[in-house]
Each structure stands twice: as C-alpha cells, then as structure tokens.
Amino acid sequence: MKKYLSLLIFSVVLLTSCIDEPEVQPNTYKGNFEALWQIIDTKYCYLDYKNINWDSIHTVYKSRVDTVSSNLRFFDLMGSMLSELKDGHVNLYSDFDKSRYWKWFTDYPDNFSSSLINSSRYLGDDYRMAGGFRYKTINTGTIGYMYYDDFSDSFSDANIAYILKSFSACKGLIIDVRNNGGGYLDLSEKLASYFFTEEKITGYICYKTGTGHSDFSKQAAIKTPAHKTIQWQRPVVVLTNRMSFSATNSFVSRMKLAPKAIIVGDKTGGGGGLPLSSELPNGWLVRFSAEPMYDADMQHIEWGISPTVKVDMSATDEANGYDTIIETAISLIK
C-alpha cells in the first residue's frame, strides 16, 4: 500500500516538476500577493471545474493590498482570497495562523453525536481498541460496530483480523467514519481492501501537465486490491456525514464498489484533490489541490459523495438515546 502511495507522489512530483515555475516575486505585500495568486493560477486543479474567474479575483484583491498595514491584516486578506476557491484542502500557513475554509461542512447538519455513540446502547465503556478503531458487537451481539475517526491512525492486518474474528457470529458490520477528517490515502486503500474479493478500478486521477487551468494528463486508473487473506464477505454498512473528508472521502468512493457494501448517512465532505504545497517569498506556505481525483464513472469527488441511503439524525431519536443513522444501518443489515 505504501508502495502505491510512494509511486503516486513520485508521479505527481515528476509531472509537476515539468511545469514552469511562476515568476519570482519580491518579499513585499504586493510581491507575496502576486506570488500566491500565480501559484493558484498555474497549479490549482479546480479553477475551470468550479467556474472560478481567477483573473477577476486578482483585480478585486489587488486593489485591497494597498490598504493593509500589518502582517496579520495581510494574512487575513490572503486567506479571504483563498476562500473564494471553496476548498477545504486549501490553507495558508504562517508562524502565527493557518487560514481555512469551513463552509464545506458548517452549512450542513452535524449528523453525529459523540455522546450517543459512547452511550451504553452502542460503544458504552466496555468497547475494545485496536489500530485506531473502537469496536464492539451491538444489537444483542448480532452486528459488529467499528468507529474510526482518523485515517492518520495506522492499523495492521493483525488488528483487522482480530476485529473481524470477534464479529464472526454477526450478521453484518458497521464502519462508522463520521467526523473522520482524513489522513493517509494508503490507509484508505488498505481498509477498503478487506471488503473486496478481487482487484477493481474504483477511481481515476489526472496530473497537472502545464500552467493552463485545464492542462491535465490522461486519466490514470486508481485500483483497490482485494486483500489476499482477510476478506469480509457479509454485509457492511459505511456511515458518513459532511465531516467525512479527504482520505475518508476516498475510502467511501472505493467502498461504493465493494460487493456487499452500502453507504448510509449524509453526503461526504469531499476534498477530492491531491494536495501539494508551495512557499511564498516571505516564507509562508500555501497548500492547494493539485491533482483531481474521480470516481469509477469519471465524476469528480471534490464536492463529496452521495450515500446510497440518505438519512439525517432525528432530534426525537436523539432525545430518546438513539442514533438514527446507526439504527438505519442495523435495520438494513437485519
């Protein structure tokens, strides 16, 4: 899995190294503004897809640069300009702050309650932990439940083998990745591999080949392998909400093609562009989406992935101690 990610990163670096670098700018407010604008103009991958008039944004924000009188105000202005991209993978980093765009999830319902999943009806206080997963049988022992909140938490085959063995008497399995903001792409591939019986093309990626907004390579297939020895072949329900982002978004895209899987909950948060970083003259770093990823039907996954079964949390259920999305998953398995 790590070999795949290493090859992917190597390919990105190799291809992007062939793109002309923007003109070197002086370390002034105007120079850093021009450098930031040019980085996005030449390297960001979604300007055309999102119908963003980046030239117009240059005009608007250039006129405001003369009004700033401190690094803090300049940072906020540049953060506002980057927010025009509406991309959770775009950030500006300085010694004193990190810009971020949050509306990709704040405009949606939470569809998650940590107090509910930690209640005695679900995880309670007697769950087990392995490789970043909290897991337990629920519904009187008939269904396995795994909660995974960070694709930066590594896990091994031994972790997964033990978890799935503990669910050997269960009718099905629930994997809850709500509020999982992402992490390592190789882990999203690895987790999905336990639910495939054969290798399958589950998506595509394109690489930036020039400075034009639509200068991309041909689509390269992203494959999800089937694990050689660990394969869960009973129903599996993946629970999602808008905070399921980035590597989690990729995991859900793969699982939509797993033989016995179904996605339940809310649309994921997206984050379908592979992020890279560049440095401004003043040393600030900008992270941006550089290579667009697609699902198996060649549809962008930047804006998120719709569930198979759309379910929102019910206030009435929550008041009575029930997680509507988990209960829906239980009903589907039963």
- 83 band by pLDDT with thresholds 50, 70 and 90: very high
Q: Residue 2 above 90 pLDDT?
A: no
Q: What are the φ and ψ backbone dihedral angles of 160, each rounded to 5 degrees?
A: -65, -40
Taking only the tens place, the pLDDT of each residue in 125-176 is 999 999 999 999 999 999 999 999 999 999 999 999 999 999 999 999 999 9
54 located within any domain: no
Taking only the tens place, the pLDDT of each residue in 223-240 is 999 999 999 999 999 999
Give the domain extent around 174: 114-203+220-272+291-333
Assigned token pair, 151: 């694709």
Q: Is residue 111 within a helix (H) or strand (E), and if so which, with residue range? A: none
Average pLDDT rounded to a whole number, residues 323-327:
98
**Which residues, other chains included, contact 174 with Cβ-Cβ below 8 Å and sequence gap of 6+?**
138, 143, 144, 145, 146, 236, 237, 238, 239, 326, 329, 330, 333
Quote the distance between the C-alpha of residue 333 and its chain's center: 26
Residue of 289, 312, 293 lying closest to 301 (CA atoms): 293
- 19 band by pLDDT with thresholds 50, 70 and 90: low
- Greatest CA span in the chain, whole angstroms? 68
Taking only the tens place, the pLDDT of each residue in 181-190 is 999 999 999 9
Q: Which long-range contacts (CB under 8 A, 24 or more apart) does 79-82 make?
A: 81/36, 81/37, 81/57, 82/36, 82/40, 82/286
Residue of 83, 36, 40 lying closest to 275 (CA atoms): 40
Assigned token pair, 90: 């775009």
Taking only the tens place, the pLDDT of each residue in 264-280 is 999 999 999 999 999 99
Q: Is residue 325 within a helix (H) or strand (E), and if so which, with residue range? A: helix 324-333
31 located within any domain: no
pLDDT of residue 191: 98
Residue of 254, 259, 262, 268 lying closest to 237 (CA atoms): 262
pLDDT of residue 70: 97
Average pLDDT taken over every residue of the chain: 94
State how many domains the chain has. Answer: 1
- Residue 213's CB is within 10 A of a number of other CB atoms, namely 17
Question: First CA to last CA across the chain, in angstroms?
Answer: 33
16 located within any domain: no
State the Cα–Cα distance between residues 168 and 143, nearest whole angstrom.
10
pLDDT of residue 23: 75
28 located within any domain: no
Average pLDDT rounded to a whole number, residues 281-299:
98
151 located within any domain: yes
pLDDT of residue 8: 52
304 located within any domain: yes
Average pLDDT rounded to a whole number, residues 295-316:
97
Task: Check which CATH number belongs to the domain holding 186 and give it.
Answer: 3.90.226.10
Q: Residue 192 above 50 pLDDT?
A: yes
pLDDT of residue 322: 98
pLDDT of residue 5: 45
Assigned token pair, 185: 């792409």
34 located within any domain: no
- 4 band by pLDDT with thresholds 50, 70 and 90: very low
Distance set, CA 123 to CA 54, 142, 189 (Å): 48, 14, 26
pLDDT of residue 20: 61
Q: Residue 203 above 80 pLDDT?
A: yes
Least confident stretch, 1-5, 93-97, 281-285, 289-293:
1-5
